[in-house]
Every structure is written in structure tokens, then in C-alpha cells.
């Protein structure tokens, strides 16, 4: 009646109490008094209970601290503990019942308490302390019952003036039962059961409470006081959980979900109360006590309410904690970004400008602080944003770490898992956001910059181990592993998808149009500057550092996805090339059969169509394969750094491959090596793509014929490049401005993959290509049109690039069909005296981009300085212009020692 109203659990209506008194007989005169009491209670109850809650918070805080420091006091002061629990329960229940019915006459601030979480938390902490120190209660109250309560009850019985026989027997049994405890050890794990004693006490109360009882309890209050004390002590021993539920059960709060949620929201808005927010999820563990065996139909509803509230509380706590962690990571990212090399230009310019007079500073350009300035402060009271984030994070971490898990309606709830789930989602989004990919403008961050930001994020998350019980290693591995897949667990795009799309759609597409050139000298793609186009530096995204960073970000799985996409584009280009071969099938067959007849070849060449298209598509293939080789090199270096113990066995596997090894075994070994970034003589990914791109309805013989004619088509089309002004060898790039130096890699790798698919001799067909290409280039020297032959010397260098690229060709093979003096003259013309030594040593000095140096024609030494493996016996070299390949209608001799791969 304190406020004149009462809201029962589960009832939506409000029951009026004072108005009922006027209708009762004999109470009409006291209606005014009741109304005065009602008005007084409504006016002052809010402030009264607010003061009580404030007092209880301080008292419980001190009580918990005292009992945690001196747990032995729990024995003699157990009654005070349960009184405190009971007071807290009453105040919490009162607040929730009245918080929704605040009238205009009341002060609303008395019915909203942002510190109620602390009271809930201290209540839960005190309950847990009692459970944890149950042994102390046992050690204290077992001898207490035997040596004090039994003697006190015996004295009370002896002082009774009248004691009937039946009541005397019951009281004597009490004394005997308690005295028997003296011989029992308190440390043993014997379970006590005083239910019979308490039942006899109830029976005795029934006997002494009837009218005209011989032993009325009203006349003998000492018996009641002593027995009630004994009952309390026995419950401490055998019914501790029931006693806790009786004094501090908050299960009725299940019927007030809206007020509880409002209190939770108010708690999260108060920084000092964040550490106590875990009390609300723990409160949901009380709701299972609302069940009753007579109402089983309430179980699903109460269970859904309890689990729903607990889930919402923990989700919100985890959301705020993860947001705080991500904000702190972003701060660390900003600090690490200040140390990037690109920001040192202003510092260098300032250092150089100290010797010169300084121009007046512009008003719109504020002076930038140097990295590390944020660590310098004159007053510790000045708090930075990072300080605030650390404070909030520490408070929330204390809350989430309070209990490892708890139970709600037979469900085990782990708070740390909620944080792990939210953090995993936010970290994945933050990593993708660092890339800054825009599909409309094709803008993306450099892989090295993303790697720096990712390292800052990972370092900070790893430091959370001392704050929150979180498996940071598992979390980081899970997120980073998802970034190596095309889609993450939520179905969103990852870094693998972003960079794969960007390198294909932006970098390589511009390379195919001539806007970007591959520069072997710098092992990167460089941008050809053009007027009217926005500045873009391809080297900043494709140099050695960026390829290593890309391999770090994507990992082996992501690099394999990138490689598969690159190979898909290669396969589509090869399919188009096969269509062009089919269009010129008859002419190519005649050209191949008349390779030793220059006049007939010259008459057949004008009948070829789309020769420029063939060279363009082969160049695009070379650009794709060159980029893939650069990416594989970065993967190899990263893999060697992180897993040298795995790289060694894989390299040993590649060393045991011989020409006699089964082709499927060889491809399996090459596939493992390619996954580690090791270059292989035959690319297994390219073999897989080309094997799946066979023409439908055609026989293997026809596909093999098309593959042979494709090489013929490319060989006889090479002289067309000499007419292009861009086909001039550039010493700064170590290549050509139209990317035709990529043809060498394209021809070597595509031919190796094609003839591996058909299980044919690779070396024989590459020799045929050299013969045809050499013959056409030599014929070009006799062309009267000087414009068509102006860059013949530069184009002839492509043959030497092919030899350097292929492990199936040697300079001896090249010199047998193309005079080496022409190559020497080409070097002299384009490189001058700088590279004359290379010409004299048969290009012994390696080009930076090439994977192996050119072998000298007068030395059997290999690039590593060792001796070349002995070559298998081969038939004598055919004469010049004789391909050594049977005509299309003749069967090919397939010697055992030259099947599949032939290496030197």
C-alpha cells in the first residue's frame, strides 16, 4: 500500500486499494486517514526507495569486499548476508513494479535508476560468494548446532513450566538430533538432511497453536525464537540454494521485460556502470524459477522470453565492445599510416627548404604534425580519444569476463562467443573497407598499404588477450582465411575478389590497349604517359613489393583463385586463336609443308587473314602470363619466408622429375610446386584450362593439328611486327613499348601446355617454330619495302628471348637456324657498347625479368654454375628450313625418351 497501487506479476491491470475501504462496513470514518497516508506515500515513496537503493549499493559493496577478503566472517554473519539479499530483492522488485506507473505528481527521476545494474551485480556477486564459501558455512554451523543450539534448546525446555508428554518427546528428539552432530567431522562430504527435524517443528507448532493447548507458544516465546534460529542454521547446511532463492529470487522480473530493457539501455549510457552490465544477462538465469509443475504450458513462453532477453542483452554488449575495438584499431591504423613512405615527401622538402628563404604559408594548409606527436602531452588530465576508447573497452571487458558461461533454461550461454562473432563480422568489413575499391572509378588501395593497415588491426586485436577471454588467434585466422576465398561467411566480397577483379579489369585491360607496358628491367608494369588522362602509376601496384604484399594478403588460396581467373582469360584467348586457325586451315597446312620453299611461302602468305589479330591475342596472353609469373614470384618469396620447412621438400620433389616420369605424376608435382609459387617447365593450371577448352565434336587428332598450325600461324606472322614503329627495343624497359616481348612467354608456355595435353614432344614443335620464324625473318631482310623491315633486328631479338624463357631450347638450336651474327648486330645497334659483353658471351648476363640466364654457346654451364644434365640421345639435327616434323598426313614418330616433357 506504500503507493496506493500494486501491479501483480503477469497482470496488466492496476488494482486500487484505498477506494475499496470506503465500501466496507465500519471503515468509512477512516477513509480520510487512508487518503492522507496514500498521498504521503505517493509523494515520498520514490525518494525513500531511491535513498534505500543508494544505501544498499554502498553497504553491499563493502560487504562483498569484506567477505572476499575475510571469508571466515561468512559463518557468524550469514544472517546479515541473507538480510542484505532480501532487502535488495525488495527494492529491485519495487522499482520495476512502479517504474511504468509514474504520475505527473511524482518526480520521474526517483523512478529511473541508471545505477540499478550495480545493485543487481552486487546481488549476484553476493549469491555466488555464498555458494563458493559453502564449506565455511558448514565448518561453522555443524559444531554450532551441536554445541550451542542444542544446549540452548535444552535449557529452554528445562525452564518450561508445563510440557506435555507428546510435546516433550518432540523437543527431546530435537536436542538428541542436534547433539548427535558433535561426533561428525565438518570437513567430510556427508550430505545433511534436516527435513525431518523441520517437519517435526511444524507438527509441534500445530499442536501448540490450537485453542486450549497445554503448551501455548504465545506464552513461551523462547521456544519459537530458538527453534526458528535452529531451522535457519539447518537450512544453511542442507538447503542453501532454497534459502538463496527464498531471499534473493528475482524471477518475477520476467514479467517486466520492458522496464528491464529500459534499465539496461540506461546502464549502457552510463560509462561507470558498463562493468556491471553483465548483471542483466545473469538476471535471465533466475527466470526458470517461475515455472510450476501445475502449469507446464507456461514453459515455452517463459523460455522464449528469458532466452530472448539474454540474447538481446549480450548482442548489444558485444556490439558496443566490438565497435569500441574497431574504433581503437582505426586509431592505430591512422598512426601506422602516418609512417608510410609516401608521407615523407613533405618532411624531405622541409629539410631541403631550411637553407632557402621560406615562402609565406598559405592559410588553407595547416601544418601537419610529425608521427609520434600524439604521445607527447604536458598534462595527464588531457585525455585523448584513444584513452577514452581504452577506458570503455576495459569496462566492457570486465563485464564480459565476469563469468565464462552461465545457464538459462538449460542453455549454456558464453558471453565471449557473442563478442567473437561480432568482432569477426566487423573485422572482415574493416579489412574490405581498407582496400577502398570503387567499381565505378576502378580505384583501389595499394596492397602494401592495406597490409600495413591489416598489421595494425591484427596487432591490436592480439593485445586483447589480457582484457577479454577471447581466442584472438582463432578469430584472426578465421577472418584472414575467409579473405582468401571469393566470398566470406556472410556472402560478401573479399580482398581476393577485389584485387582479382581490379588487376584483370583495370591493370591488364589497360596493358592490352597499350596504356601500360611490362618493364622487365624493373619487374613491374609501367604506365605510358598520355595527355588528357588522369595520372596513374601502374608500377605502384605491380612492383616486387606490391606482389609480395598481395601474396601476404591473399595467401596461397587467394593467389590460386587469382591464377585460375587469369588462366580462364588465357583459355578464352586460345579458343579464339583456334577459331582463327580454322579459318586459315588450308593456307597454314600448305605453309607448313612448304617451309623449305621460300618462294612458295611468299606466295601463300598474302592469303592469310587476321594475322595481326593472332599476334595481338598472343601478346595479351603473354601479358597475362607475365603478370602471373610476377605474382607467383611474390608468393614464392612469402612462402619461403613463412614456411621454409615446407618449401625445401617441395623443391626436392621438382628436382626428382625426369623425362621418364609419368606425365600425370609430373603434373601433380608441378601443381604442388605452382601452389607454392615455384616456376615449372609446364604450367599445370594452363594445362588444365587448355585440356578443358577442346573443340566440341573434334577428334584428338584434329585438336593436335590445330595446335601445330597455331604455332605455324604465329611463326609466319612475326615479321609483321617489324612494320610497327613501337616494335623498337627499349633499353630502359628492357623490352618493347607495345609489349611484344611478352610473346616469348606466351609462345613457350602455351606450346608446352598444348603439347602436354596431347602427350607430344614439346622440344620438336618448338624447334619447328624456330625454323619457321627464322626463315620468315631472314626472308624479311630481302624485302624491298624498307618500312616493313625497319625494325627487323628488334623483332629478331624475340627469338633469343624465347630461348631464354624455355628450358626446352638452347642457343645451339637457335644458331642452327638463325645466324648469330644478326643477333650480335641487333644488340650493337640498339644497345651500343654497353651490352657488347653480353653479345660476345651469347647474352650470358641475365635480364632482370627472365627466370634463367642465357647459356653461352661455348660453355655447358647452367645458370646456377653447375653442369648441364646429360641429354638423351637424339637424332642428328635436320638441315636448315627442314622442320623435322612429319607432314600432316604422316604418322609422328613418338620415341619413348622424347614423350611428354623433354628437359635439358
Higher pLDDT, 712 or 361: 712
Q: What percent of the chain has pLDDT over 90?
A: 48
Q: CA–CA separation, 207 vs 706, rounded Å?
A: 113
Q: Over 50: is that where the pLDDT of 405 sits?
A: yes
> What would the pLDDT profile of 127-175 be if each residue is shown by its tens digit?
999 999 999 999 999 999 998 989 999 998 888 877 778 888 888 899 9
DSSP annotation string for 722-768: GG-TT-SEETTTTEETT-TTHHHHHHHHHHHHHHHHTT--HHHHHHH
CA distances from 83 to 77, 120, 126, 248, 361 (A): 10, 15, 12, 9, 73
Q: Over 80: is that where the pLDDT of 680 sits?
A: yes
Mean pLDDT along residues 109-134? 90
Mean pLDDT along residues 788-816? 88
pLDDT at site 879: 33
Split at pLDDT 50, 70, 90, the class of 23 is low
* CB count in 10 Å sphere of residue 345: 9
Mean pLDDT along residues 28-38? 80
Split at pLDDT 50, 70, 90, the class of 11 is very low
Higher pLDDT, 890 or 196: 196
> What would the pLDDT profile of 541-587 be if each residue is shown by its tens digit?
999 999 999 999 999 999 999 999 999 999 999 999 999 999 999 99
Mean pLDDT along residues 41-51? 85
Task: State the SS3 of 350-395.
Answer: HHHHCCCCCCCCCCCCCCCCCCCHHHCCCCCCCCCHHHHHHHHHHH
pLDDT at site 536: 83
DSSP SS3 for 859: coil
Split at pLDDT 50, 70, 90, the class of 820 is confident
pLDDT at site 883: 32
Residue from 451, 423, 187, 248 nearest 328 by CA: 423
Give the residue extent of every domain in the chain: 5-132, 138-241, 541-869
Higher pLDDT, 337 or 481: 481
pLDDT at site 245: 92
Mean pLDDT along residues 874-880? 34
Q: Is the CB of residue 800 less than 8 Å from the CB of residue 814?
A: yes
Determine the angle formed by the axes of helices 611-642 and 544-583, rounding to 10 degrees: 150
Please tell me the total number of residues recorded for the chain in this structure. Answer: 904
* CB count in 10 Å sphere of residue 803: 25
Specify the range with the lowest mean pLDDT, choosing from 46-55, 93-102, 104-113.
Answer: 104-113
Mean pLDDT along residues 428-447? 92
Higher pLDDT, 160 or 668: 668
Mean pLDDT along residues 88-113? 81
Tell me which range, 8-22, 70-84, 649-663, 820-834, is most confidently predicted by mean pLDDT.
70-84
Q: Over 90: is that where the pLDDT of 518 sits?
A: yes
Q: CA–CA separation, 321 vs 327, rounded Å?
A: 10
> What would the pLDDT profile of 688-702 be if each residue is shown by its tens digit?
999 987 777 778 899
Split at pLDDT 50, 70, 90, the class of 387 is confident
- 740 burial via Cβ count (<10 Å: 0-12, 13-18, 19+): buried
Q: Is the CB of residue 887 less than 8 Å from the CB of residue 893?
A: no
Q: Is the CB of residue 737 less than 8 Å from the CB of residue 801?
A: no
DSSP annotation string for 478-513: HHHHHHTSSB-TTS-B-HHHHHHHHIIIIIIHHHHH
Helix, strand, coil in percent for the chain, rounding step 5? 65, 5, 30
* CB count in 10 Å sphere of residue 713: 25
What's the alpha-carbon Rg for the chain, to the nearest Å?
44
| Residues paired with 411 in a beta bridge | 408
pLDDT at site 398: 92
Q: CA–CA separation, 379 vs 629, rounded Å?
A: 55
pLDDT at site 630: 95
Residue that is written with C-alpha cell 500445530 in the block: 206
DSSP annotation string for 23-69: TSTT-GGGHHHHHHHHHHHHHHHHHHHHHHHHHHHHHHHHHHHHHHH
Question: What is the average pLDDT score of the chain?
Answer: 83
pLDDT at site 280: 94
Q: CA–CA separation, 878 vs 473, rounded Å?
A: 63
Q: Over 70: is that where the pLDDT of 28 sits?
A: no
- 363 burial via Cβ count (<10 Å: 0-12, 13-18, 19+): exposed
CA distances from 570 to 298, 566, 573, 619, 693 (A): 66, 6, 5, 11, 11
Residue from 31, 118, 133 nearest 75 by CA: 133
Q: Over 60: is that where the pLDDT of 5 sits?
A: no
What's the pTM value of the predicted model, to 2 decimals?
Answer: 0.81
Higher pLDDT, 448 or 215: 448
Q: Is the CB of residue 457 less than 8 Å from the CB of residue 520?
A: no
> What would the pLDDT profile of 439-492 be if each residue is shown by its tens digit?
888 899 999 999 999 999 999 999 988 888 888 999 999 999 999 999 999 999
> What would the pLDDT profile of 529-545 be if each residue is shown by its tens digit?
776 666 788 999 999 99
pLDDT at site 382: 78
pLDDT at site 904: 35
Residue that is written with C-alpha cell 556427508 in the block: 190
- Output phi, psi for 684, to 5 deg: -65, -35
Q: Over 90: is that where the pLDDT of 494 sits?
A: yes
- Output phi, psi for 281, to 5 deg: -60, -40
pLDDT at site 892: 40
Split at pLDDT 50, 70, 90, the class of 850 is very low
- 187 burial via Cβ count (<10 Å: 0-12, 13-18, 19+): exposed
Please name the residues in contact with 100: beta carbons below 8 A apart, sequence gap of 6 or more. 7, 256, 258, 259
Mean pLDDT along residues 100-115? 76
pLDDT at site 567: 95
pLDDT at site 823: 84
DSSP SS3 for 438: strand
Amino acid at each position: 500500500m506504500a503507493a496506493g497501487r500494486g501491479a501483480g506479476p503477469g497482470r496488466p491491470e492496476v488494482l486500487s486499494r484505498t477506494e475499496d475501504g470506503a465500501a466496507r462496513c465500519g471503515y468509512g470514518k477512516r477513509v480520510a486517514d487512508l487518503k492522507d497516508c496514500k498521498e504521503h506515500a505517493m509523494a515520498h515513496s520514490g525518494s525513500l526507495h531511491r535513498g534505500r537503493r543508494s544505501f544498499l549499493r554502498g553497504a553491499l559493496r563493502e560487504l562483498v569486499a569484506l567477505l572476499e577478503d575475510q571469508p571466515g566472517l561468512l559463518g557468524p554473519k550469514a544472517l546479515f548476508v541473507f538480510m542484505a539479499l532480501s532487502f535488495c530483492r525488495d527494492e529491485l522488485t519495487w522499482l520495476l513494479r512502479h517504474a511504468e506507473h509514474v504520475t505527473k505528481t511524482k518526480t520521474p527521476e526517483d523512478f529511473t535508476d541508471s545505477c540499478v545494474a550495480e545493485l543487481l551485480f552486487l546481488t549476484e556477486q553476493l549469491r555466488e560468494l555464498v555458494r563458493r564459501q559453502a564449506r565455511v558455512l558448514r565448518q561453522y554451523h555443524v559444531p554450532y548446532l551441536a554445541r550451542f543450539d542444542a544446549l540452548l534448546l535444552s535449557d529452554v525446555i528445562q525452564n518450561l513450566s508445563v510440557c506435555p508428554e507428546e510435546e516433550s518427546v518432540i523437543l527431546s528428539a530435537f536436542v538428541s538430533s542436534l547433539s548427535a552432530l558433535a561426533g561428525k567431522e565438518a570437513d567430510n562430504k556427508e550430505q545433511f538432511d534436516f527435513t525431518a527435524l523441520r517437519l517435526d517443528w511444524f507438527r509441534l507448532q500445530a499442536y501448540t497453536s490450537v485453542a486450549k493447548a497445554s503448551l501455548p507458544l504465545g506464552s513461551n516465546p523462547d521456544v519459537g525464537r530458538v527453534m526458528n534460529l535452529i531451522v535457519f542454521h539447518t537450512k544453511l547446511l542442507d538447503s542453501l540454494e532454497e534459502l538463496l532463492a527464498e531471499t534473493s529470487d528475482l524471477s518475477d522480473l520476467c514479467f517486466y521485460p520492458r522496464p528491464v530493457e529500459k534499465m539496461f539501455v540506461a546502464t549502457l549510457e552510463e560509462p561507470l556502470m558498463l562493468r556491471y552490465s553483465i548483471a542483466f544477462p545473469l538476471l535471465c538465469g533466475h527466470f526458470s524459477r517461475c515455472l510450476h509443475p501445475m502449469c507446464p504450458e507456461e514453459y515455452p513462453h517463459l523460455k522464449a522470453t528469458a532466452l530472448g532477453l539474454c540474447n538481446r542483452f549480450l548482442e548489444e554488449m558485444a556490439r558496443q565492445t566490438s565497435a569500441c575495438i574497431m574504433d581503437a584499431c582505426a586509431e592505430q591504423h591512422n598512426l601506422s599510416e602516418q609512417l608510410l613512405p609516401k608521407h615523407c615527401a613533405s618532411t624531405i622538402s622541409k629539410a631541403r627548404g631550411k637553407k632557402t628563404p621560406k615562402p609565406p604559408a598559405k592559410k588553407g594548409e595547416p601544418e601537419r604534425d610529425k608521427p609520434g606527436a600524439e604521445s607527447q602531452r604536458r598534462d595527464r588530465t588531457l585525455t585523448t580519444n584513444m584513452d577514452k576508447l581504452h577506458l570503455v573497452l576495459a569496462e566492457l571487458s570486465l563485464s564480459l569476463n565476469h563469468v565464462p558461461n552461465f545457464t538459462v533454461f538449460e542453455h549454456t550461454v558464453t558471453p565471449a562467443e557473442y563478442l567473437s562473432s561480432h568482432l569477426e563480422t566487423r573485422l572482415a568489413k574493416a579489412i574490405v573497407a581498407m582496400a577502398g575499391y570503387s567499381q565505378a572509378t576502378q580505384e583501389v588501395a595499394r596492397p602494401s598499404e592495406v597490409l600495413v593497415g591489416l598489421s595494425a588491426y591484427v596487432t591490436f586485436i592480439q593485445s586483447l588477450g589480457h582484457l577479454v577471454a577471447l581466442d584472438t588467434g582463432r578469430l584472426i585466422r578465421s577472418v584472414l582465411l575467409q579473405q582468401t576465398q571469393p566470398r566470406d561467411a556472410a556472402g560478401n566480397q573479399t580482398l581476393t575478389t577485389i584485387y582479382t577483379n581490379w588487376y584483370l579489369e583495370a591493370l591488364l585491360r589497360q596493358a592490352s590497349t597499350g596504356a601500360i607496358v611490362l618493364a622487365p628491367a624493373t619487374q613491374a608494369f609501367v604506365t605510358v604517359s598520355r595527355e588528357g588522362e588522369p595520372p596513374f602509376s601502374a608500377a605502384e601496384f605491380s612492383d616486387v613489393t606490391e606482389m609480395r604484399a598481395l601474396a601476404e594478403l591473399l595467401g596461397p588460396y587467394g593467389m590460386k583463385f587469382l591464377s585460375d581467373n587469369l588462366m580462364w582469360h588465357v583459355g578464352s584467348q586460345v579458343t579464339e586463336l583456334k577459331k582463327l586457325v580454322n579459318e586459315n586451315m588450308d593456307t597454314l597446312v600448305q605453309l607448313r609443308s612448304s617451309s623449305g620453299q621460300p618462294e612458295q611461302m611468299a606466295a601463300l602468305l598474302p592469303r592469310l587473314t587476321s594475322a595481326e589479330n593472332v599476334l595481338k591475342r598472343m601478346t595479351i596472353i603473354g601479358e597475362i602470363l607475365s603478370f602471373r609469373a610476377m605474382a607467383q614470384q611474390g608468393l614464392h618469396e612469402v612462402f619461403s619466408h613463412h614456411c621454409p620447412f615446407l618449401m625445401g621438400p617441395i623443391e626436392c620433389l621438382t628436382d626428382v622429375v625426369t623425362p621418364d616420369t609419368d606425365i600425370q605424376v609430373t603434373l601433380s608435382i608441378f601443381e604442388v610446386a605452382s601452389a607454392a609459387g615455384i616456376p615449372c617447365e609446364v604450367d599445370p593450371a594452363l594445362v588444365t584450362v587448355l585440356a578443358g577448352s577442346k573443340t566440341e565434336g573434334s577428334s584428338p587428332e584434329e585438336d593436335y593439328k590445330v595446335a601445330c598450325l597455331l604455332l605455324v600461324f604465329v611463326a609466319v606472322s612475326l615479321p609483321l611486327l617489324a612494320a610497327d614503329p613501337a616494335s623498337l627495343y627499349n633499353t630502359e624497359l628492357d623490352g618493347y613499348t607495345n609489349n611484344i616481348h611478352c610473346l616469348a612467354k606466351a609462345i613457350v608456355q602455351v606450346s608446352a601446355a598444348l603439347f602436354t595435353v596431347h602427350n607430344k614432344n614439346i622440344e620438336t614443335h618448338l624447334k619447328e617454330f624456330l625454323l619457321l620464324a627464322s626463315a620468315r625473318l631472314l626472308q624479311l631482310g630481302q624485302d624491298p619495302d624498307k618500312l616493313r623491315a625497319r625494325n627487323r633486328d628488334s623483332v629478331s631479338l624475340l627469338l633469343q628471348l624465347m630461348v631464354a624463357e624455355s628450358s626446352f631450347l638452347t642457343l645451339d638450336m637457335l644458331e642452327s637456324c638463325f645466324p648469330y651474327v644478326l643477333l650480335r648486330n641487333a644488340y650493337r645497334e640498339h644497345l651500343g657498347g654497353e651490352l657488347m659483353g653480353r653479345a660476345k658471351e651469347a647474352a650470358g648476363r641475365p635480364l632482370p625479368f627472365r627466370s634463367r640466364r642465357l647459356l653461352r654457346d661455348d660453355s655447358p654451364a647452367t645458370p646456377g654454375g653447375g653442369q648441364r644434365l646429360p641429354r638423351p640421345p637424339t637424332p642428328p639435327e635436320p638441315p636448315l628450313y627442314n622442320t623435322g616434323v612429319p607432314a600432316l598426313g604422316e604418322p609422328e614418330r613418338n620415341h619413348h625418351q622424347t614423350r611428354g616433357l623433354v628437359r635439358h
